[in-house]
Amino acid sequence: MKPWIERQRHLIDFTAQSLARRKGKSLGLLFVYTLLVFVLASVALYTHALRNEATRVLAGAPEIVLQRLIAGRHDLVPPGYIERIGRIRGVQKIEGRLWGYYYDSVLKANYTFMVPADREIVPGEIVVGPALERTRGLSAGNGISFRAYSGELHTFIVAAVLAHESELVSADLVLMNEADFRRFFAYPDGHYTDIALWVANPLEVRNVGVKLLGTLPDSRPILREEVLRTYASIFDWREGMMLALLSAAILAFGIFAWEKAAGLSAEEKREIGILKAIGWETGDVIAMKFWEGFLVSLFAFLVGYVAAYVHVFHFEFTLFAPVLKGWAVLYPSFALTPQIDGLQVATLFVFTVLPYTAATLVPIWRAATTDPDTVMRS
């Protein structure tokens, strides 16, 4: 085993020196190769981190959200629904929620107005999200006015700004007192936007959803697992859309890499002929060329992946973030928790390293099995 390892070490040393003699070709290929890996790894890392972040955020979400439908559209939940839901076996906790969207003509952006269940807010005051603070120049103690859809102007005092760590879900959020919310949106007493439910046994969530449909035929229960699947589908679609846009660049690289790997220059052919003439075996020549392709592709993969990691988790995916974030005006600024999926790394490695390495073996096998004199004369 040790002689074989020593043999491979010497072959790697010779391959490295051979690459150094062809700096122009090697650096050009390495740059393009690294750039491709960087782009693909950036998209994969960012999408995977967003999926994990969505899963983490929704872990504390209600297991079921119940909406009322009128003519297929979302409508207010009238009084009495909470009491009827409470009689369904398996429901542990029920909470009527108040939230709605407000269009700000100043920023041409939508805000989410909401009454928090776990926080008391003084009437006449609001708590705003970090993106709203940043774009409107707000801070604690400032006043801000919103014109309701009825035309009436409402003025509020900013009591606090939500923590920047929560910006992924609170960028456009405005929290307010229940009485202020009902007055602003003209919500009648006892009505809610929807109802949040928690189930005692997580295995019975789907059964409780079926019971809700039986008890309230005009309702639509939305399960937390369905919301997670929707987020995953959105991220998959955006990732696929971006990779589709990059498909031309990927195809161009494939052609470039194949041409570089498959086309032996006259200098390389002479080198192979000389090696065969001085006693190198066909297996040694093939192994040398294998190490050449593998070292180039492995180095490009490592540099590209590390650069993508830094780009995603330290520079907030600056180059491609607008494509995958999806917010139109109020872009949240947040730091994703570094997430690396071993299967994702292995898949990227297989699709970027192995094809180029394999492409180097076909022409070198032909040259290595040809008579040395014929190779040097060609």
What's 340's DSSP letter? Answer: -
Q: Which of 26, 27, 39 is nearest to 249 (CA)?
A: 39
Contacts of 156 (CB under 8 A, 6+ apart): 124, 125, 126, 143, 144, 145, 146, 176, 180
**Looking only at Cα atoms, what is the longest distance across the chain?**
96
What lies within 8 Å, CB to CB, of 54 at 6+ separation is 228, 231, 232, 235
Per the DSSP assignment, residues forming a β-bridge with 74 are 69
- Pairwise pLDDT comparison (278 vs 173), residue with the higher score: 173
Whole-number Å distance between alpha carbons of 288 and 309: 31
Of residues 166, 162, 208, the one with CA closest to residue 62: 208
Residue that wins the pLDDT comparison between 6 and 150: 150
**Amino acid in the structure at residue 8:** Q
CB distance 56 to 168 below 8 Å: no
Residue 23: which region, alpha, beta or left (left: phi > 0; alpha: psi -120 to 50)?
alpha
* 8-31 pLDDT, tens digit each: 776 777 777 777 777 777 787 788
pLDDT greater than 90 at residue 337: no
pLDDT of the residue at 191: 95
- Residue 61 gets which letter from DSSP? S
Q: Which domains does the chain have, with CATH numbers?
A: 2-58+232-377 (no CATH), 99-186 (2.40.40)
pLDDT-based confidence at residue 332 (cuts at 50, 70, 90): low
What are the tens digits of pLDDT across the range 30-64? 888 898 889 888 888 888 888 888 788 788 789 99
The amino acid sitting at 200 is A
Residue 66 vs residue 294, higher pLDDT: 66
Helix (H) or strand (E) holding 18: helix 2-21
pLDDT at 239 over 60: yes
Tally helices (H) and strands (E) across the chain. 16, 11
Per the CB < 8 A criterion, the answer to whether 36 and 302 are in contact is no
Is the pLDDT reported for residue 156 higher than 90? Answer: yes
CA–CA gap between residue 134 and residue 32 (Å, rounded): 38
pLDDT attached to residue 235? 74
Contact 100, 241 (CB under 8 A): no
Task: Check whether 289 has a pLDDT greater than 80.
Answer: no
pLDDT reading at 198 higher than 90: yes
Percent of the chain with pLDDT over 90: 33
Task: Give dist(CA 36, CA 258) in Å, integer.
Answer: 14
143: its two tokens: 């006043």
In angstroms, rounded to a whole number, what is the distance separating the alpha carbons of residues 174 and 128? 5
Q: Which residues of 66-105 are buried (b: 16+ CB within 10 A; e: fewer)?
A: bbbeeeeeeebbeeebbeebeebeebeebebbbbeebebe
Are 49 and 337 in contact by the 8 Å Cβ rule? The answer is yes
Q: Over the stretch 116-149, which tens digit does the pLDDT of each residue have? A: 988 899 999 999 998 888 888 888 889 999 999 8
Instruction: Specify the amino acid at residue 319.
Output: L
Distance CA(353)–CA(296), nearest Å, equals: 9
Nearest to 253 by CA among 32, 30, 23: 32
User: Which residue shows structure tokens 């999200």?
Assistant: 129
Quote the Cα angle for 58-61-65, to 5°: 120
Site of tokens 């990227």: 348
Cα dihedral: 63, 68, 74, 76 (round 10): -110
The mean pLDDT of the chain is 82
